[in-house]
Copies of this chain bind each other. A is one copy, B any other.
Amino acid sequence: MSKFEQVRQRPPAKLLQPRPMILVVSPLRSSVNLSRLVRLAGCSGIGKIIYCGSGKVDRDIARDAVDYVTIESRRSVGPVVSKLRAQGFHCVGLEQTTNSEPLTSFAFQRQTALVIGSEREGLANDVLSQLAAVVEIPVYGQPASYNVVTATTMAVYEYCKQFPAG
């Protein structure tokens, strides 16, 4: 018998409290990217996405996360960030900017709203100016930036690593 045997459908890790993290998502060009973000959120125990664009979630991609994650539709990102700040969320952008901090050494606050830009335009100035911090992921080769879902995946992984119990 091999030391490593597949375990299918292991029960999820227990969260001692619900994750407060919210993903705030700019309009995406691709509903595939949106659907992949929904699956990522579901697997990671993130219960809420605020989506500021159009496009439908594809259940074949998002899987059971469709029933796990609440998706709220809003018109634009700026006012959403403004409201979340007032509610006490630490609003953190994911973007290549001046004064950004590397994700690899960033200490998240538990009550974080992760603010995600569009595939091409990234985060707009009226959003950037409201953020408490911006995190950036080091790129070591080509192309010069990660896909939006890939970057979000890394940030969500790092956040969950810092708050394994929710």
Contact = CB atoms under 8 A, between A and B. Distances in A.
Contacts of A6: 95-97, 122-123, 128
Oligomeric state, in number of copies?
2
Contacts of A150: 36, 39-40, 43, 149, 153
A79 interface: no
Interface in A134-148: 134, 137-147
A9 B63 contact: no
Contacts of A104: 160-161, 164
Contact of A65 (B13, B125, B142): B142
A145 B43 contact: yes
Interface of A: 2-13, 15, 19, 36, 39-47, 63-65, 67-68, 93, 95-100, 104, 122-123, 125, 128-129, 131, 134, 137-147, 149-150, 153-154, 157-158, 160-161, 164, 166
